[in-house]
Every structure is written in structure tokens, then in C-alpha cells.
Amino acid sequence: MLGINPFFPATARQFELGIVFGKLWPGVSAGLQSLGDGFLRLIKTIISPLVFRVVVGIAKAGDLKAFGWIGLKALIWFEVASTLALLIGLLAADVVQPGSGMRVNPSTLGASAVDAKTGGGALPSATEFALDALPTGFVGALAENSLLQVLVLACLVGAALLHLGHTEVPQVPPAVEQAQEVVFAIVGSSRPAPWPCCSGWTASRARCAS
């Protein structure tokens, strides 16, 4: 029987603590937002390296047919995960209705500021989507955290390694695996993450109470 990851109960407790702390000491709590923002930035730095690990799986595929299947599964996973995240966000917004309890007078909001946040959105065409998926540079895709571009780049690098074979570049796949071990160590060190969650939620609760 699988046990419950202690990370999730700890995060839930810190959310509760954040609500109480933000209610009782809103003046102090508003300054804790930087802890939550800093934690989110650190998390974003390891997302692209984790996605790039597809290189190792493709390099070990054995032939181009297996590479095509791995690349297709990776793209399907990306699309399914993105769609699921959107559905969860829509459901959470409909059930929780964030912002409904805030004391905000819509008449005091500038029309230009509202339009900047809500206007100008448009779905890209199939051609634009395909072009956006192609990386403009090796480092740029990783630096900008463009996950679809990182995934495409990983597939291209993996295909190149598969074409060259292990005899031509035997040191590259082990180097990627060793780099991933460093990333996994960073992920493991994020176990104190509930505290930044608490600080971010505390700051949000403090803004609502003010």
C-alpha cells in the first residue's frame, strides 16, 4: 500500500497557517510575498532541465522508429498535461471564485489597466503554433523556459545522438544523466517548500484583509 507523501499535508497546514497569520497580522504578512515569489522563481529554473531529460530516453531508444514513438508520446504528454492544467484552473476558478471577497470598487480601476490584463488575447493559427514550437536558439529555449521549444530541442538532440551512435559521442548521454542528478538533488532539497507557500498565501490573505 502506497503511503501519502508528507509534502502535501505539510503544504495544506502551511496554507491554513497563512490564512490565520494574514488575518491576525496583515501589516507584517504583506512583506512575506517575496519569499513565495523567490521560491516560484527557483522552481521555474529546474522545469526546463527536467523536460530536457527526454534526450537520454531518445538516445537509448536504439533506432529511429523507437525515437519517433518516444517523441510522439512526449508531445502527447505535453498537450494532455497542458489541457488538464487548464481544466483544473477553470474548475478551481468556478468553485472557489478567487477575488470575490475583496473590497474592490470596479469604478476606481483604470480602463487601460484592465484592458492590458484581459484584452488582446487571440488563439494562434496552426502555422504560428508550429513556428513557435521551433527553438530560436539552444540556450534561449532553456533560458526563457519555453517548455514546448525545450521539448522539441530535446527531441532534435536525442535524434542526433541516436544517428551518431554511442561510439561517436559516448560521453554525451552520461553527462546529461549526471546533470539530471544535480537537478533531482535540487528538487529533493525543496522539501521545506511549504514555508514559502505559507508566506505567499499569508501575503495574499493580508492584502484581502487590508
Q: How many domains does the chain have?
A: 1
Which residue ranges in the chain fall short of pLDDT 50?
1, 206, 209
Residue 81 lies in a domain: yes
Q: Is 154 exposed, middle or buried (0-12, 13-18, 19+ CB in 10 A)?
A: buried
CB distance 208 to 101 below 8 Å: yes
Residue 73 lies in a domain: yes
The tens digit of pLDDT for each residue in 101-128 reads: 667 666 666 667 666 666 666 677 778 8
CB distance 199 to 35 below 8 Å: yes
Whole-angstrom distance, CA of residue 57 vs CA of residue 73: 12
Residue 3 lies in a domain: no
- The whole-number pLDDT of residue 76 equals 85
As a three-state string, the secondary structure of 97-143 is CCCCCCCCCHHHCCHHHHHHHHCCCCCCCHHHHHHHHCCCCHHHHHH
CB count within 10 Å of CB 5 equals 9
Residue 186 lies in a domain: yes
Whole-angstrom distance, CA of residue 38 vs CA of residue 112: 29
- Report the alpha-carbon angle 100-106-108, nearest 5: 135
Residue 108 lies in a domain: no
- The whole-number pLDDT of residue 87 equals 93
Residue 11 lies in a domain: no
Residue 22 lies in a domain: no
- The whole-number pLDDT of residue 88 equals 92
Residue 96 lies in a domain: yes
- The whole-number pLDDT of residue 1 equals 42
Running DSSP on this structure, what letter comes out for residue 210? Answer: -
User: Reduced to 3 states, what is the DSSP secondary structure of residue 22?
Assistant: helix
Query: At residue 168, what is the residue type?
Result: E
Task: Pick the closest to residue 150 from 68, 45, 59, 60 (CA basis).
Answer: 45
Whole-angstrom distance, CA of residue 209 vs CA of residue 103: 9
Distances (CA, A) of 178 to 47, 170, 192, 209: 16, 14, 24, 47
- Report the alpha-carbon angle 78-139-42, nearest 5: 65
Half-sphere exposure for 34 (CA within 13 Å, toward CB): 2
Domain that holds residue 89: 53-100+125-195
The tens digit of pLDDT for each residue in 13-40 reads: 766 776 676 667 666 655 666 766 777 7
